[in-house]
Structure 1
Amino acid sequence: MINDLRYGFRMLFKSPGFTAVAVLTLALGIGANTAIFTLIDAVILRSLPVRSPDELFSVGDASRPTALWYGGPMVSVFSYPLYQRLRDQNRVFTRLLASGKAGRIDMSVDDSLHEEVRGRLVSGNYFEVLGVSPVLGRTFSAEEDQTPGANPVIVISYDYWENRFARDSSILGRTLRLNDSTFTVIGVGPRHFTGDVVGSPTDIWIPLSMQAQVNPGDPRLDKRDSNWLLCMGRLKPGVSAQKARAEMTLLAQEALIDYEGAALSRDKLRDIRTQTVDVQPGARGFSWIRKHDSPLLLLLMLVVGLVLVIACANVATLLLVRASSRQKEISVRLAVGASRWRLICQLLTESALLAAMSGAAGLLLAGWGSRLSSRLASGGPNPIPFDVDVHPNLAVLAFTAVVSVVTTILFGLAPALRSTRVDLMSTLKENARTLGRSRWQLSKLLVVGQLALSLPLLTVAGLFVRSLVNLETLDVGYSRTNLVLLKADLAGSGYGPRQQLPLTRTLIERLRSVPGVLGVTVSENGIFSGTDSSTDGLQVEGFNPMRKDDSACGFNQVGPHYFQVVGVSLLAGRDFDEHDNAGAPAVAIVNDTMARFYFGNSDPLGKYILNGGERYTIVGVVKDIKERDLKGKTERRFYVPLFQEGGRIADFNFEIRARDDAARMVPAIRREMRLFDRNLRVLSLKPVRVLMDESISEDRLIAQLSGFFSVLALLLAAIGLYGVMAFAVAQRTHEIGIRMALGAAKSDVVGLVVKQGMFLTLLGVAIGLIVAFALTRVIASQLHEIGATDPTVFSAVSVLLAIVAFFACYIPACQATKVDPMVALRWE
């Protein structure tokens, strides 16, 4: 074995050009696979870095954020009172933790510039249940979670400590201001621990008892209908998940019945009895991206897997070509007594060395690629809420090793078998330098395979790109080019409930006075703001629901002239105006989809709807618009006047219509807000066009990655075709010389070579189209406004592949015409 390794290294470094090309080709394939696997490991496979993660069980399901009170059969998030009841009364968990997103947190240190941090409110036993020990200081105690507002302490993550405070050990005892409340740092979490929600890392952990201080104006600890907490715990010995599920479901149902009290109706009781609380293994933590993004990650894994197969076929072709220069060496070794199996082992050793070098290089590329992919997803101008720890671990290293071994077999075995099957008498001749018919046929087969696999990859990328273009150019029902959305947190800025609506009117007038502003309105759920409101108990005059879903509908509270400012067409009736206030009759406007569903061809104007005990008279019908998602069908939706409702609103969204480009108006609007109130918390100020782009960031990332990998596959296939055709020209130098000596024109020689290469191309395209038709059906649900077998895309990628293949054949064909007939005739 040692001798084989030494000889293998000597032979590889004897041909540095071949070795470099082969290593680079395989490294790209291995690196791409390892990079995507690293993401899959981080999102799907990896357990939380805590003590005995297999003992953890989640209560509820973060991938299905269905609240107890909002119409789903599964309880997935909990109120604080319900968590306390489950924690104190259950007999199946040793301890039960709770955690919830803290919302937007502005942090300042020593009165320095404010910055936004990612915070999580957690129960006092959070770190104890997870079995996480701090690297510095301490974590929370159970007592620090008992008295609301009494323990302003925080634990910061290792990454935040490293990036923000340069691992300063004096951080303990330091005070930070979070949303105008002072907190003391008592500990630093361990390295690589970013919380219990994968894909949403935490910078700081805050006791649940401090929720009102972190979210001023939105106290939730005493509210039974505020469902926002995720729960996790460790089961007692001998308790099964099924038993825990049954007990937690019973406790939740009993709690809801108690909460209803005298208002409990028969229908409500029936709904309560259908509620369930899921208990599942929680070793991998909570993650909405696991359920949402797993299919796309697995699809990318399939794509890069095909890229690796193409890379292996490419290197196998190079090995077959290289074997022609080693025919005499192999023949001599066979002639002097070496066994064929011994030579196969030697050639496979050389292939294994190539794979090992490629694996090492691929691991370096993978580290860069996985970090880049995660950064593209979670950062940049259009971020995706996707931020995972992509450091390589043993699983990633093992995967790279396995892939390297598999590639050795894929690209090394067939050439080794073919190269050692030789005719000793003919190959020992001085002029025996041809590839051999069997090896030539294998080379052509490998090229056809590369082309056939490249086409479906190009097709998938083309479909994703077309789908993205369709989303970017979709008619949303209004002009997206000169509309700005400003989101302000009035409650968090110190304004009480009675001050908020008058302040909102004043803000509208101030914003209208900004030069270049054509109109301003306000809404509870701003256009593409990321928030929404819905009901599952809507009653409509003259409509009898047949299914529970028939009573489900989205709604929004909007200000005067909302549809005029946004630019939505009125199909019937009127827009809201200043007269629709608290003293006026309750009115509503419905979208076209809702009007058609509930009223058919009847006129909905003057009809009433009932929601939450309030009766609204329909005064208008508006055109369907896209206001929170560019994908999917338009849902039923109604609108009510914001100044008429007067209810508590978390954030106020101001839609601002500008005369010119929206991006140019943002600085002027920001200046006006600072002049109005420097302490007013502006959560977001962006053109709506940018918000729309952010909503399809995932589609853009998938289009970019699939496009990159498909182009890489096309490049590898083209290089493989070029290499085979160039070698074919070299092998046929004597034949070409004779043809030219007998009067053949250069165009005839070019046509001869190109014809041979294009035949292989057409064969690859034909096979590739069959594979593409099957593969694209897998992504049909991910496409928008385009079919999985779109003829335009299939035709375009086929033509593109043919053009690239033509040039890959044309270049060596032109080189063939430069053969001197006299030199060619003396070649043998």
Structure 2
Amino acid sequence: MSALIEDVRFSLRLLLKNRGFTLVCLLTLALAIGANTAIFSVVNGVLLRPLPYPEPDRLMQVVRATKDHGRSATHSIAAYVWMSAEGSPFSGVTAYEVLPSGFSVVGDGMPERLPGMRVAGGFFETFGVRPALGRGFLPEEDVVGGPRVVVLSESLWQRRFGGAPDVVGRSIVLNDEPYTVVGVAPASFAYPRGVNLWTPLQLDLTNRTNANFLYVTGRLRPGITTSGAVTALETLSGRVRADNPGLLDVGQEYVPVELRTFLAGSMRLALWVLLGAVGLVLLIACVNLANLQLARAAARNRELVVRAALGAAPGRLVRQMLTESLLLSVAGGGLGVLLAEAVLPALLALAPDSAVLLSGDGGGAQVGIDGTVLGFTLAASLLTGLLFGLLPAWQASRTDLQMALREGAQRTTTGPGGGRTRTFLVVGQVALAVMLLVGAALLIRGFSALQSVQPGFDPQGVHVLRLSLPEGRYGTLQALERFETQVEERVRALPGVEVAGFTTSLPMDSGPSMSFSIEGKYTGDDNGPGSGWGQYRPVTPGYFGAMRIGLVRGRLLAETDVAGSEPVVVINETAARRFWQGEDPLGQRIRVAHTVPSLRDEVPRVVVGVVRDVREDGLNDESPPVMYLAPGQMSQGIASMIVRMIPQNLLVRARGGHADVVAAVQREVWAVDAQQPVMETLKLEDHVARSLGSERFNMVLLGMMAALALVLAAVGIYGVLSYLVSQRTREMGVRLALGATRGEVVKLVLRQGLGAVAGGVVLGCAGALALTRVVSGFVHGVSALDPLSFIAAPLVLLGVGLVAIWVPALRASRVDPIIALKYD
């Protein structure tokens, strides 16, 4: 122990004495380890940290999966019943709607619209959550026509009811109906993310229609593993197909997915790739520091030789060198934690709004610096210290004592092997940097290509107000139609307003899809001719003008397309091509939701127009088939479901600032219904930009990693070449004294440096080619083998390398031969 303490003291004295070297090392380590800490904290919060429920690894989300890895997480009521039946692998199963419902609450404060979730009765028991106050739902409350009861979130209880302990048993008004508060959830629970209250779903369990609008979560029975659950659900899938053939499509199976994995969604692979990229940056930093340590060991060679001559064993010298490296890495790791803490808010601000990592509640990730992250940082710091310290320490222990003492102090170096080692390290450093640069270039090219994609509408100058309408007032077709017509008339009369219209869903947002049958072609086979599906868009006539969606042929929806008139539908070009190939769809009749009695059209609707395609699913996906129909001509079943689950979007194309337009429109909405709050306002162009949030997040972070790698590589190249030039000062002087020109000396240094850089570029391109499969899922609009990216990235690094080499080369050419010959 005393020897270790002595090594630490000696190392501290040396590091404080060589402040420049120490500062460069600490800065490099802080950047590399800080970046790793920041990214790992996100990975830990999203992918690794257990959900805040008892035995969270036993919570499974049931999905319908096909052999080609296509998945759908939505289920029908009948499927939920099957999951609860005998033979199910779950001890508890719950169902809840795909989207939160809107609840207008009045009393105990200002009227407001709250997101809530209708859930099956065993919801809290399945998650293993006990309410902080009161209780959950009783079986008799989760039946059709059962009592209206509600469980509040802890945040809503504190904010609206002041944390009153007597809130249980109170009656509150939600959607114009009285509900009794039966419980308050604990502060750690807020699932699904962002909801403020829960009410019983009250499903009709005898319903056997294939209307998929539920998520199903189950808790595995004791003793059943995930693989056992897969087998059990395969057996259950066979029973379902035999008894209810319509519930599962051909080739589909019920599959359990761990809830944490399900919540992470598409972020999962992206975060692992980013963690791998930042790991490469740390490796580049290790190579950089190893080169610095090698140069420093060469400069200290006489000191090490003297210590060896006085009896220090090679192991003692190795331990001393490693102690210095570990001190640097631990100090750099500490600075890295501080840096990560500072940049983490900015990192989360870059994240897409839909990412689970933005959630700080019990329904999503909790990203931050905790014990796990600190443990990772300490391990990374120690490993880094060993990586960049081991090679210099090993080389220092191999010094030939007799040769070193014979050569003397001024000529003592680590020999030609040390120079080759540093060159090989530069090759590896450049190769890693090229791999990161190619990946970043691919993402930048893909993001640029996506931004140039035309969405099929004009978002400029369109203001959006989201209204969650209470089902009690607007659940009927006539009430919904009357409200939207009155609001549109008043808004259109405002100064500066060009056009206004309503839609249930914005492009690039979640929205319902429905199946349909074509009259005269449907044979009864839902997978055969005459059957199709499309995005279901109830819109008012002003929607097309507000979005500037072009008409191809026929007509648009008109003010006369109201409840009671002949049902009509407008389709997009994709639907026309896919379902009426070579035919004119105008005049054809379709029946929407034809397989679901509670939702289907009683009277077939006529196709009256075809409009341009809109990128409904995002700029990186082709347009799906879309059906546009008048809100007053929906079936009553669909209307009730949409009003309950999906906010209405009022689109206003108007001149003027966003705040002024929104304020004026809000006044007109309140003139129609003084109790109707506006949930959210936004500019449509911001909504389009936000749809690229995942791509922007990946591009910016990988670009930052590549930029950091480029800087580290440039510093490494410059440092090695500068050291080699200083070691060859006498040689350069001799060459100049014997008649070599300064240009020839520059070429000599350039050839040596560019050879290492070129070798690294070749290796890096080969590595990037091998990793194209990993990044191909993040690149849209260009090929993962995009030639421009594979040319531009190496050229950038060659250019940076040339600049880094040029400075030492010029210094070598300016050596004074007389001074150089006196160097020894």
Partner of 2:580: 599
Partner of 2:506: 526
Partner of 1:569: 550
Q: CA deviation at 1:517?
A: 1.7
Indicate the SS of the match to 1:827: coil
Q: Given the alignment of the two structures, is residue 616 of structure 1 paired with residue 583 of structure 2, yes or no?
A: no
Partner of 1:156: 154
Which stretch of the first structure deviates more once superposed, 703-712 or 102-111?
A: 102-111
Indicate the SS of the match to 2:753: helix
Closer, same or farther in 2 for the Cα pair 1:118/1:728, shift >3 Å?
farther
Indicate the SS of the match to 1:538: strand
Q: Is the CA contact (8 Å cut-off) linking 2:513 and 2:535 kept in structure 1?
A: yes
- Determine the C-alpha separation between the residues in 2 that align with 1:705 and 1:822: 52
Partner of 2:10: 10
Q: Which of 559, 567, 570 does residue 540 from structure 2 map onto?
A: 559
- TM-score, normalising length: structure 2: 0.83
Closer, same or farther in 2 for the Cα pair 1:333/1:140, shift >3 Å?
same
Q: Given the alignment of the two structures, is residue 512 of structure 1 paired with residue 512 of structure 2, yes or no?
A: no
Which stretch of the first structure deviates more once superposed, 33-42 or 95-104?
A: 95-104
The one-letter code sitting in structure 1 at the alignment partner of 2:729 is T
Gaps of 5+ in 1: 67-71, 212-218, 258-267
Q: Is the CA contact (8 Å cut-off) linking 1:587 and 1:616 kept in structure 2?
A: yes
Closer, same or farther in 2 for the Cα pair 1:699/1:769, shift >3 Å?
same
Q: Is the CA contact (8 Å cut-off) linking 1:493 and 1:681 kept in structure 2?
A: no
Which stretch of the first structure deviates more once superposed, 499-508 or 467-476?
A: 467-476
Closer, same or farther in 2 for the Cα pair 1:572/1:543, shift >3 Å?
farther
Partner of 1:230: 216
Q: CA deviation at 1:810?
A: 3.0
Indicate the SS of the match to 1:410: helix
Partner of 1:427: 404
Partner of 1:803: 799
Q: Is the CA contact (8 Å cut-off) linking 1:455 and 1:768 kept in structure 2?
A: yes
* Identity, % of aligned positions: 30
Q: Is the CA contact (8 Å cut-off) linking 1:575 and 1:620 kept in structure 2?
A: yes
Aligned-pair Cα RMSD in Å: 4.2
For 1:350-361, list aligned pairs within 5 A: 350-361=324-335
- Determine the C-alpha separation between the residues in 2 that align with 1:751 and 1:178: 81
For 1:462-541, list aligned pairs within 5 A: 462-491=441-470, 494-497=473-476, 498-528=478-508, 530-539=509-518
Closer, same or farther in 2 for the Cα pair 1:188/1:521, shift >3 Å?
closer
- Determine the C-alpha separation between the residues in 2 that align with 1:73 and 1:450: 41
Q: Given the alignment of the two structures, is residue 33 of structure 1 paired with residue 36 of structure 2, yes or no?
A: yes
For 1:331-346, list aligned pairs within 5 A: 331-346=305-320
- Determine the C-alpha separation between the residues in 2 that align with 1:105 and 1:743: 90
Partner of 2:436: 457
Indicate the SS of the match to 1:551: strand
Number of positions where the alignment pairs a residue of Structure 1 with one of Structure 2: 784
For 1:360-759, list aligned pairs within 5 A: 360-370=334-344, 372-377=346-351, 388-392=365-369, 395-428=372-405, 429-491=408-470, 494-497=473-476, 498-528=478-508, 530-539=509-518, 547=527, 551-560=532-541, 562-611=543-592, 612=594, 613=601, 614-645=603-634, 647=636, 648=639, 649-650=642-643, 651-659=647-655, 665-737=661-733, 750-759=746-755
The one-letter code sitting in structure 2 at the alignment partner of 1:321 is A
Q: CA deviation at 1:253?
A: 7.8
Q: CA deviation at 1:789?
A: 1.9
Closer, same or farther in 2 for the Cα pair 1:108/1:642, shift >3 Å?
closer
Indicate the SS of the match to 2:419: helix
Q: CA deviation at 1:309?
A: 1.0
The one-letter code sitting in structure 2 at the alignment partner of 1:534 is S
Partner of 2:62: 60
Indicate the SS of the match to 1:682: coil
Closer, same or farther in 2 for the Cα pair 1:481/1:281, shift >3 Å?
closer
Partner of 2:765: 769
Q: Is the CA contact (8 Å cut-off) linking 1:74 and 1:275 kept in structure 2?
A: no
Q: Given the alignment of the two structures, is residue 189 of structure 1 paired with residue 186 of structure 2, yes or no?
A: yes
Indicate the SS of the match to 2:570: strand
Q: CA deviation at 1:709?
A: 0.8
Q: CA deviation at 1:716?
A: 0.9
Q: Is the CA contact (8 Å cut-off) linking 1:35 and 1:367 kept in structure 2?
A: yes
Q: Is the CA contact (8 Å cut-off) linking 2:617 and 2:623 kept in structure 1?
A: no
The one-letter code sitting in structure 1 at the alignment partner of 2:457 is Y
Q: Is the CA contact (8 Å cut-off) linking 2:503 and 2:650 kept in structure 1?
A: yes
Closer, same or farther in 2 for the Cα pair 1:238/1:111, shift >3 Å?
closer
Q: CA deviation at 1:226?
A: 7.5
Partner of 2:597: none
Q: Is the CA contact (8 Å cut-off) linking 2:434 and 2:793 kept in structure 1?
A: yes
Q: Is the CA contact (8 Å cut-off) linking 1:569 and 1:622 kept in structure 2?
A: yes
Closer, same or farther in 2 for the Cα pair 1:675/1:2, shift >3 Å?
farther
Q: Given the alignment of the two structures, is residue 309 of structure 1 paired with residue 309 of structure 2, yes or no?
A: no
Q: Is the CA contact (8 Å cut-off) linking 1:324 and 1:433 kept in structure 2?
A: yes
- Determine the C-alpha separation between the residues in 2 that align with 1:274 and 1:179: 41
- Determine the C-alpha separation between the residues in 2 that align with 1:670 and 1:363: 46
- Determine the C-alpha separation between the residues in 1 that align with 2:563 and 2:134: 52
- Determine the C-alpha separation between the residues in 1 that align with 2:768 and 2:652: 46
- Determine the C-alpha separation between the residues in 2 that align with 1:397 and 1:203: 32
Which stretch of the first structure deviates more once superposed, 496-505 or 485-494?
A: 485-494
Q: Which of 785, 789, 792 does residue 789 from structure 1 map onto?
A: 785
Q: CA deviation at 1:711?
A: 0.7
Indicate the SS of the match to 1:685: strand
Q: CA deviation at 1:328?
A: 0.9
Which stretch of the first structure deviates more once superposed, 773-782 or 511-520?
A: 773-782
Q: Is the CA contact (8 Å cut-off) linking 1:154 and 1:204 kept in structure 2?
A: yes
- Determine the C-alpha separation between the residues in 2 that align with 1:57 and 1:106: 31
Q: CA deviation at 1:242?
A: 5.8
Gaps of 5+ in 2: 595-600
Indicate the SS of the match to 2:265: helix
Q: Which of 313, 318, 321 does residue 292 from structure 2 map onto?
A: 318
- Determine the C-alpha separation between the residues in 2 that align with 1:705 and 1:441: 34
- Determine the C-alpha separation between the residues in 2 that align with 1:473 and 1:738: 60
- Determine the C-alpha separation between the residues in 1 that align with 2:479 and 2:751: 80
Q: Given the alignment of the two structures, is residue 42 of structure 1 paired with residue 23 of structure 2, yes or no?
A: no
The one-letter code sitting in structure 2 at the alignment partner of 1:487 is R
Closer, same or farther in 2 for the Cα pair 1:517/1:784, shift >3 Å?
same
- Determine the C-alpha separation between the residues in 2 that align with 1:32 and 1:60: 36
Indicate the SS of the match to 2:776: helix
Closer, same or farther in 2 for the Cα pair 1:118/1:620, shift >3 Å?
closer
The one-letter code sitting in structure 1 at the alignment partner of 2:466 is K
The one-letter code sitting in structure 1 at the alignment partner of 2:616 is E
Q: CA deviation at 1:381?
A: 13
Q: Given the alignment of the two structures, is residue 241 of structure 1 paired with residue 234 of structure 2, yes or no?
A: no
Q: Which of 217, 241, 265 does residue 291 from structure 1 map onto?
A: 265
- Determine the C-alpha separation between the residues in 2 that align with 1:588 and 1:150: 37
Partner of 2:598: none
- TM-score, normalising length: structure 1: 0.82
- Determine the C-alpha separation between the residues in 1 that align with 2:23 and 2:588: 76
C-alpha distance after superposition, 1:564-619 (max 9, x if no partner): 44222222222222232334433322222222223333333233333335423322
Q: Is the CA contact (8 Å cut-off) linking 1:73 and 1:275 kept in structure 2?
A: no
Q: Is the CA contact (8 Å cut-off) linking 1:736 and 1:816 kept in structure 2?
A: yes
Q: Is the CA contact (8 Å cut-off) linking 1:536 and 1:552 kept in structure 2?
A: yes
